């Protein structure tokens, strides 16, 4: 058996992991490198020829979630190769790419992307997927992309757990450790492939979504007009703002038609499991919606915004109609995007937030804290190895307070034994451009 980390050691994003037996080969994720602060992507895999070469003889690609650094090269995969993603994740990705099709000059690319997505196979949690002699079982994890998964892979008498991106401080995180315990009871885990995003940001406070909700409620009591800049597909964060807004009587929860489509997907799936994720009927904003604008002027709002030309037009129209002293923008994304001194600073984000009279930053990471990584590693207790990916410096796993015998099993270099070859390709990390 062979595990190949084509990309992911000593870099965040651009993840590509291969699991192979003598009969079958699969990829877990086919991600694009993260963009720099100006939105430019440096990725020598982002073309048909390169993807055709790296996927040669691959039987299937399975995606942990829909973020571009795990999913971004899906449209370049040959039609002969099966691709899999979670059922709800597929709907969200389709919704996003159908909207991107409206961008001038992008029509042909969007047409290809949508066709690929529509033909993609979907799966449910714990649904067993058989690719040749490799059996894959997806298990739900909480992340800043809803319907994200870790994968248990079984072949050649070995069991490999690939965590994907996950966290322990979301509304949906309480099942993480119990799920792993059940996996262990069914048999040992031989190799653990796991993320380590937060290892380079140990000074960053990780807070539970419930804590954010309490802070947002207090801010909404203080300010009448609350604008929110957060990921349009982070269901748990969107639920934080929705739940907080419900505490303020008669204040509309406002968004554009695209965001409403995404919220509808979440309401029809997760909303059936918990009322926290039932977004009801959010109010759709457009400049001609005079009834809604009058309501906002009277009662205020919680309005979801994005740093786009459309929302610049919306805010240019709406902000002059509102009292400045009662207006605030809550920024709920990675702080470096709006840090002028950071190499990751995004001018589009920076220009957008500067329109607002007040700015408050309320955020927590979509990735596992060092404590959570420690708990997962100690609980899984793999018999043969830990392969850390999605980390700026994978050797930092040695700094985690995991058991000493596990530290000896951390693998960041190519290694071989009688039953397994682990190939770590570090040359491809030269494409690293950023982190979240």
Query: What integer pLDDT is reported at residue 162 of this predicted model?
Result: 98
Q: pLDDT, tens digit, for every residue of 220-245? A: 999 999 999 999 999 999 999 999 99
What does residue 67 show for φ and ψ, rounded to 5 degrees? Answer: -65, 145
Same domain membership, residue 298 and residue 215: yes
Same domain membership, residue 190 and residue 116: yes
Share of the chain above pLDDT 90, in %: 86
Distance CA 277, CA 264 (A): 10
Two tokens, residue 41: 């992507």
Total structural domains within the chain? 2
Average pLDDT, the chain: 94
Same domain membership, residue 163 and residue 109: yes
Distance CA 265, CA 241 (A): 17
Query: What integer pLDDT is reported at residue 172 of this predicted model?
Result: 97
Q: What is the CATH number of the domain that holds 412?
A: 3.60.15.10
Measured between alpha carbons, how far is residue 93 from residues 85, 88, 131 in Å?
10, 9, 24
Q: Which residues on adjacent β-strands are paired with residue 138?
A: 151
Same domain membership, residue 119 and residue 54: yes
Distance between start and end Cα atoms, the chain: 33
Q: Which of 361, 382, 410 is the last residue of a domain?
A: 361
- What integer is the mean pLDDT of 62-71? 97
Is it the case that residue 350 has pLDDT exceeding 60? yes
Q: Please check whether residue 200 is in contact with residue 390, taking contact to mean a CB–CB distance below 8 angstroms.
A: no
Nearest to 350 by CA among 3, 36, 37, 2: 37
Q: Which of 76-80, 159-163, 298-302, 391-395 has the lowest mean pLDDT?
A: 391-395
Same domain membership, residue 176 and residue 83: yes
Q: pLDDT, tens digit, for every residue of 105-163? A: 899 999 999 999 999 999 999 999 999 999 999 999 999 999 999 999 999 999 999 99
- Would 250 be classed as within a structural domain? yes
Same domain membership, residue 346 and residue 406: no
Same domain membership, residue 400 and residue 414: yes
Same domain membership, residue 139 and residue 242: no
Boundaries of domain holding 232: 209-361
- Would 436 be classed as within a structural domain? no
- Would 304 be classed as within a structural domain? yes
Is it the case that residue 433 has pLDDT exceeding 50? no
Same domain membership, residue 56 and residue 180: yes
Q: Which of 340, 361, 382 is the last residue of a domain?
A: 361
Query: What integer pLDDT is reported at residue 430 of this predicted model?
Result: 41
Measured between alpha carbons, how far is residue 235 from residues 16, 254, 331 in Å?
25, 15, 16
Same domain membership, residue 173 and residue 259: no
Q: What is the CATH number of the domain that holds 340?
A: 3.40.50.10710
Q: Which of 312, 342, 361 is the last residue of a domain?
A: 361
**Alpha helix ranges (H) inside 48-86:** 48-54, 68-71
Same domain membership, residue 416 and residue 338: no
Give 384's contacts (C-beta < 8 A, 6+ positions apart). 190, 191, 409, 420
């Amino acid at each position: 058996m062979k595990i190949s980390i084509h990309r992911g050691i000593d870099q965040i994003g651009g993840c590509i992991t291969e699991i192979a037996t003598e009969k079958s080969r699969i990829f877990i994720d086919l991600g694009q490198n993260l963009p720099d602060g100006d939105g430019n992507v440096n990725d020598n895999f982002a073309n048909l020829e390169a993807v055709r070469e790296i996927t040669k003889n691959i039987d299937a690609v399975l995606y942990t979630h829909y973020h571009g650094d795990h999913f971004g090269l899906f449209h370049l995969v040959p039609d002969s190769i099966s691709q899999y993603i979670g059922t709800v994740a597929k709907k969200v990705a389709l919704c996003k790419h159908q909207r991107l099709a409206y961008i001038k000059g992008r029509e042909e690319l969007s047409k290809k992307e949508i066709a690929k997505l529509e033909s993609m196979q979907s799966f449910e949690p714990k649904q067993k997927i058989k690719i040749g002699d490799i059996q894959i079982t997806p298990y739900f994890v909480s992340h800043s992309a809803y319907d994200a998964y870790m994968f248990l892979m079984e072949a050649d008498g070995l069991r490999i757990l690939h965590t994907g991106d996950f966290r322990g401080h979301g509304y949906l995180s309480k099942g993480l450790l119990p799920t792993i315990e059940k996996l262990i009871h069914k048999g040992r885990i031989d190799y653990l492939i796991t993320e380590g995003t937060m290892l380079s940001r140990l000074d960053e406070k990780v807070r539970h979504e419930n804590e954010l909700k309490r802070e947002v409620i207090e801010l909404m009591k203080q300010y009448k007009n609350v604008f929110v800049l957060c990921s349009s597909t982070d269901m748990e964060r969107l639920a934080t703002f929705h739940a907080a807004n419900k505490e303020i009587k008669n204040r509309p929860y406002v968004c554009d038609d695209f965001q409403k489509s995404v919220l509808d997907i979440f309401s029809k799936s997760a909303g059936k499991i918990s009322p926290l994720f039932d977004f009801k009927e959010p109010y759709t904003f457009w400049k001609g919606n005079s009834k809604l604008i009058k309501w906002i002027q009277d009662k205020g709002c919680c309005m979801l915004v994005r740093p786009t030309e459309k929302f610049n037009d919306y805010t240019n129209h709406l902000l002059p109609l509102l009292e400045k002293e009662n207006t605030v923008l809550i920024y709920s994304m990675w702080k470096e995007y709006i840090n002028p001194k950071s190499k990751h600073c995004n001018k589009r984000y920076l220009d957008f937030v500067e329109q607002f009279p007040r700015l408050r930053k309320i955020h927590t990471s979509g990735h596992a804290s060092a404590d959570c990584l420690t708990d997962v590693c100690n609980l899984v207790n793999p018999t043969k190895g830990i392969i850390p990916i999605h980390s700026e410096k994978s050797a930092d796993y040695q700094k985690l307070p995991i058991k000493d015998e596990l530290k000896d099993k951390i693998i960041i270099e190519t290694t071989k034994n009688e039953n397994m070859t682990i190939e770590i390709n570090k040359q491809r990390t030269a494409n690293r451009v950023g982190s979240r």
